[in-house]
Structure 1
Amino acid sequence: MHITITRGAVTAGLLVLLTAVPAGAETTSPARAATTPVTSVTLPAPTGSHPVGTVSLHLVDRGRPDPWVPTEKARELMVSLWYPAAKGGGTTAPYMTDEEAKALLEGQEITGVPSEAVSGTRTHAVTGARPAGRKGTLPLVVLSPGFTMPRSSLTALAEELASRGYVVAGIDHVHESFGTSLPGGRFADCVACKEQEGGWKSGDKVVMGRQADVSFVLDRLLGRHPVWKGARLIDRSRVGMAGHSIGGASTSWTMVKDARVRAGVNMDGTSFVPVPEQGLKRPFMLMGAGEDREPGGKDATWGRDWARMTGWKRWITLEGADHGSFTDYSLMSRQSARELEVTRAYVAAFMDRHLRGEDEPLLDGPSKTYPEVKFWK
């Protein structure tokens, strides 16, 4: 089995992104220390017609202990919501806390980069902006990041979907990212990282735990007493999910266990928990990086699950991409900025087709606009 680990690609991406290496300059891989001036970056602007708002939620599931720290009798989660907002001014949201940025840099073993260069990444969503829309009309998309990565790593995708009229819930799976800031000045480090040192030992545990996390978040957003004041805008019958790396692997399993999730996207994640032999009938898209994710490539889990997907499905790969290409950290070069553009276009087209019933020719085959995307059967 081919096991995908986020660290290498993201390390390289963060370094080049944050150290502003001139075009054509030679770099080493992985380069651990920054040697050029560091500047913050701006995420690509959303292309949809709606302004974007965002809020952060602290959710506590008192029905189960934390899977990584059993002495913590309740499972805590941090969730960011992005959504269409009413027009008006306001302060754009911080990308992450400075403490989270420090943990990310330390976890990736990057030195010489000030944490403010990461936490200062400029976003486009306005903190606490008033939600806009009619009751029960906005589809909901849940995003689950890669292992060790915070929910902020998928901010550019989240802002894009929100600008197109979606409510987006990005989940920080506490103790599975390098660090998560919690209310009251508390900070949760990556306990799961220690368990996985030396190679993957419990990928199935991560996947199953994330399914429980997602289902709990849906309970709190879609239940009779939702935790967010804008929840009344959500159409409970139109819920999708997309994830990167093990977040993508968790998407198919979440759909198996939770019928509320109608459509899903796996962005370059090895499938640790197989789709059951009885199959998955709801729409699914595999979106992979390069040759390893092609049929017959190193990751046999995709072919196994593909054969068990009996509904609408697509298997596409992005030529020249790497594992980090589907995250914000892909902004390390002009080419990789292009890869993030492709990711946003195809994930949005998938959700438009399956949560809104819109005709999306982009999903029907090769495109002149995105010739680097290959379709497989």
Structure 2
Amino acid sequence: MRLGRMLVLAVALAAGQAGAQEYFGDMRPDAPELAARGPLKVGVRTLVAEHQDQLDILHANAEQPNPRYTRKLVLEVWYPAQLAAGQNEHTVYTDVLGSGPNDPKRPNTPFQFNGRAVRDAAPAAQGGYPLVIVSHGYPGSRLQMSYLTENLASKGYVVVAIDHLESTRADKAGFASTLLNRRLDDLFVLDTVAAWAKPGSGNVLAGLVDANNTALIGYSMGGYGALNTVGAGVSAAAAAYVPGGKLAINQQGNQQYEAARDARIKAVVAFAPWGGAHKVWDDAGLAGVRTPLLFISGDQDDVAGYQDGVKQLFQKTVHAERYLLTYAGGRHNSAPNPPSPAHWSNADDFSSYSEPVWDSRRINNINQHFVTAFLGIQLKQQRLQAYLDLPPLQADGTIKEDTGLWLGFPKRAALGLEWRHLPAQ
């Protein structure tokens, strides 16, 4: 037993040393073509947006059914930058381990990891870059998909990742807040960035970003929120999941909800979106989505569900053009960075980022490839459709004569993946 612990410690220490200069998102030798970083230099800044006079659902009760508060949302913003002489694309991000405050088994402990971006760099001289809003899981953080956010910024997007209040690893609180506020946070951040983008606003994003050309990327509860934002109104039964029926504000058929559809949102990438297996939506609610969708999931997802979860969402969003990328044998962690060396000290922290049978770095590269193609088509009208018009290669373990049939993949490198496409009805 002691020898086993020593071996685990040795592996963890080796990982720490190897990871000291690691940058998440760098290409493996077998990475697909579009995973490559773009030509632009990347800056990163931390901004704050405050959404005032919001329902404080976690403190609502019979005596005070409508308490109000300000939701302070910390935002990480990646953007095309112009670097001064001697500036190198390097920064250090600080996040936290754990699953919320006051958990003695998984205390909120800070950890750091490297990024390929320049903190507070000057923005690029030109503007008009499409906006991508990123929404994490429950709990999660704005930093947990930096491999993708940096990559997209290098390709000419302004990427804004939200720390959703009461839903991060640092401040996790009651689930009702996450159910209620994801759509409201997404739309508020879109409105806020649009205001910041106006010439003369005084914000660093003034003139840099085109908020009329926006995509949402959501992971798990972030995927739930993204779908809810673009027209998947929750069912009447699901409205009861939040005390006092307050989730009715996000309910299919509610006129206020229907009026809040935002034409500026042109695409959604939903990683392992939660809700399908939990009957959050009925068929009428899912039919309300008309925004192009890219779903990404593992077929062994035991959190969001696959056959009764993500695959059902893919099949029933019938009025949207949609794609489904499936990792055979993958569980729920199809979106985040690989585990940092700090995660090795706690099995639960490690498993909250890792995949049992997949190398997270390979997943990251594949995600970069397909998200680049999908958003390039939807937001930039780039001629990348051939990267999505793929034969439905089945992940049955059979090595075919030429698995390079998937455009952009090295020969024999698409094994373990499934691809599906359904047009809008």
What residue is the counterpart of 1:87 in the other structure?
A: 83
Compute the displacement of 1:80 (Å). Answer: 0.5
The structure with the larger Rg is: 2
Identity %: 23
| Aligned counterpart for 2:25 among listed residues 44, 58, 68 | 44
What residue is the counterpart of 1:264 in the other structure?
A: 268
Paired residues for 1:346-365 under 5 Å: 346-360=370-384, 361-365=386-390
After superposition, the Cα gap between the structure-2 partners of 1:63 and 1:319, relative to the gap in structure 1 and judged at 3 Å, is same
CA–CA distance in 1 between the matches of 2:286 and 2:161? Answer: 30
SS at match of 1:354: helix
Question: Letter of the aligned partner of 1:363 in structure 2?
Answer: L
Compute the displacement of 1:267 (Å). Answer: 0.4
After superposition, the Cα gap between the structure-2 partners of 1:222 and 1:263, relative to the gap in structure 1 and judged at 3 Å, is same
For the 8 Å contact 1:143–1:168, the answer to whether it is kept is yes
After superposition, the Cα gap between the structure-2 partners of 1:36 and 1:126, relative to the gap in structure 1 and judged at 3 Å, is closer
Compute the displacement of 1:270 (Å). Answer: 2.0
CA–CA distance in 2 between the matches of 1:169 and 1:221? Answer: 9
Contiguous gaps of at least 5 residues in structure 1: 1-18, 23-33, 180-188, 197-201
| Aligned counterpart for 1:63 among listed residues 40, 53, 57 | 53
For the 8 Å contact 1:292–1:298, the answer to whether it is kept is no
For the 8 Å contact 2:299–2:306, the answer to whether it is kept is no
CA–CA distance in 2 between the matches of 1:308 and 1:38? Answer: 43
Compute the displacement of 1:376 (Å). Answer: 2.5
For the 8 Å contact 2:144–2:336, the answer to whether it is kept is yes
Question: Letter of the aligned partner of 2:321 in structure 1?
Answer: W
CA–CA distance in 1 between the matches of 2:9 and 2:45? Answer: 30
Aligned residues: 320
| 2:132 is aligned with 1:141 | yes
Q: Please report the TM-score for the alignment, with normalisation by the length of structure 1.
A: 0.74
Compare 123-132 and 87-96 and name the one that shifted more: 87-96
What residue is the counterpart of 1:176 in the other structure?
A: 167
What residue is the counterpart of 1:299 in the other structure?
A: 308
CA–CA distance in 2 between the matches of 1:124 and 1:106? Answer: 33
Deviations 1:110-131 (CA, angstroms, capped at 9, x unpaired): 58xx956x32x11111110011
Paired residues for 1:280-295 under 5 Å: 280-292=289-301
Paired residues for 1:87-236 under 5 Å: 87-88=83-84, 89=87, 92-97=90-95, 100-101=96-97, 109-110=105-106, 115=109, 118-119=111-112, 121-135=113-127, 137-179=128-170, 189-192=171-174, 196=175, 202=176, 206-223=178-195, 228-236=203-211
- Alpha-carbon RMSD across the aligned residues, in angstroms, is 3.2
Contiguous gaps of at least 5 residues in structure 2: 1-7, 27-35, 61-66, 232-260, 341-353, 392-405
Q: Please report the TM-score for the alignment, with normalisation by the length of structure 2.
A: 0.67
SS at match of 2:207: helix
For the 8 Å contact 1:20–1:37, the answer to whether it is kept is no
| 2:326 is aligned with 1:317 | yes
For the 8 Å contact 1:68–1:175, the answer to whether it is kept is no
